[in-house]
């Protein structure tokens, strides 16, 4: 495992193991460097199933982790929390894109602000996102628009980070 990258993107399908691998990587770096672990959550508990998912993710993190909830203004959270000696785990960009679209935000501008905040922060940053463009073409305009916006965001972030890991079946392959 290479730990010298400051910015790492974990991308893959749903339930592929992205979050688990990103958390393990962040914890390994913290163990080696003494860095402070900060989890930046983008999920919003709109229903019981999502509340259960969030609770499961929270139970996977021990007392070393501090959690910040940032469902909309993720760039500001990165800038605020991204100091020297910190390791940020952002989970996940796909939910963040959903939140932006539901709030009718400028997704392109938000993506640019995200990339700018990643570049400006001094912290190590791990980002988790879903690859949503490898399946069937969605049958409705909203779902196609979401797929396109998420794909554009993933491309933008992948170009900006130092390392990218493609995750499938709990295994990762370094693609950048």
Q: Which residues are catalytic?
A: 57
Q: What tokens appear for 39 in the block?
A: 């989890």
Q: What tokens appear for 104 in the block?
A: 């009718």
Instruction: Please say whether the beta carbons of 41 and 127 come within 8 A.
Output: no
Distance in angstroms (rounded) separating the CA atoms of residues 7 and 15: 22
Count of C-beta atoms within a 10 Å radius of residue 157: 21
R_g (Cα) of the chain, nearest Å: 15
């Amino acid at each position: 495992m290479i730990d010298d990258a400051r910015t790492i993107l974990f991308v893959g399908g749903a339930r592929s193991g992205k979050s688990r691998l990103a958390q393990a990587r962040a914890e390994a770096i913290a163990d080696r460097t003494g860095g402070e672990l900060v989890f930046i959550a983008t999920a919003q508990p709109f229903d019981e199933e999502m509340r259960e998912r969030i609770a499961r993710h929270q139970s996977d993190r021990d007392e070393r982790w501090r959690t910040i909830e940032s469902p909309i203004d993720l760039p500001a959270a990165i800038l605020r929390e991204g100091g020297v000696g910190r390791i940020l785990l952002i989970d996940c960009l796909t939910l963040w894109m959903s939140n932006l679209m539901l709030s009718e935000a400028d997704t392109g501008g938000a993506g640019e602000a995200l990339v700018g905040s990643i570049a400006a922060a001094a912290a190590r940053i791990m980002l988790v996102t879903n690859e949503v463009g490898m399946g069937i073409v969605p049958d409705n305009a909203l779902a196609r628009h979401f797929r396109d916006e998420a794909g554009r965001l993933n491309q933008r972030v992948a170009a900006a980070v130092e390392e990218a890991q493609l995750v499938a079946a709990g295994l990762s392959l370094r693609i950048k």
